[in-house]
Amino acid sequence: MPNGNAVNTTNGAGPHNLQTFVLAPDGTVMTCLPGYWNPQDLVSELKLGQDLYKVWSDRQLSRAEKDNIFRRMQQDHFRTHSLQEQRRSRMQGFDQKYEAKNRLQTSDCILDSRLASVVLEKGMKAPMGAFKTTDQIMHDRMSQRPFVNYQNFDVVAYTDYGRPFYNKNEDQRTATGEVNKDLAKAQPLMGNVDEMKSAHKRTRRQQQQRMAGARMMNRAGGYLARRGVQTFVRAMR
């Protein structure tokens, strides 16, 4: 809202609500920041976009060379992030819980599924090394999308981490900064709400299908392993 309140949050929070694209004049994506971003960290990422544009516009480089440089620059940039920036990029607790609950074994946001599963226990927080920080998620995913035109950029997949719905309720807060829960519940939703619900259902179905497929593969692998051992034993006899 133009007249709404502003509140501070972590880097990468609300990736479905907001994306900041850095584009070349021809519409090629240099980088994309999902969610909200701290001003001092945003400047560094915009500078990366400028540097990547120099690579994209260099006529001496082949497309393959440009793509390789793009991937390397994305990963190198993450490695320069300070400990303070990584702390500002810690994934929100409810987003961690969403990833652990819905895609513990498949999420690219999870570094260690055993550690990540701790957040599913009541009152427990994720240990260090359980989840990637959002700045790492961003650079990992961007490195897989070298110089993609905006028209072909898969925004939905790129921003798919954490809860599909994110709201800080900045306009439903009291003078002390606490959320007025009654006002928060009564606020209208923005956007195509019906489509948001349908998209969420489709995502859940796809996750369930992937998990079912993984279970079938595991069972099939175990069966074939057992049969293979039996066949080998018979052959030895």
- Condensed to tens digits (0 to 9), the pLDDT of residues 89-113 reads 999 999 999 999 999 999 999 999 9
pLDDT of amino acid 232: 42
Higher pLDDT, 236 or 64: 64
Could you tell me which residues are beta bridge partners of residue 23?
29
Mean pLDDT, the chain, integer:
83
Contact 134, 35 (CB under 8 A): yes
Pick left, alpha or beta for residue 23 (phi over 0 → left; psi -120 to 50 → alpha; otherwise beta).
beta
Q: Is the pLDDT of residue 114 over 60?
A: yes
Please, which pLDDT band fits residue 216 given cuts at 50, 70 and 90? confident
What are the tokens at 142? 């961007």
pLDDT of amino acid 8: 73
pTM above 0.75, yes or no: no
Calculate the alpha carbon distances from 131 to 58, 94, 177 in Å.
Answer: 37, 13, 29
Task: Report the pLDDT averaged over residues 13-33.
Answer: 95
pLDDT of amino acid 170: 53
Domain spans, the chain: 1-90+133-187, 92-132, 193-237
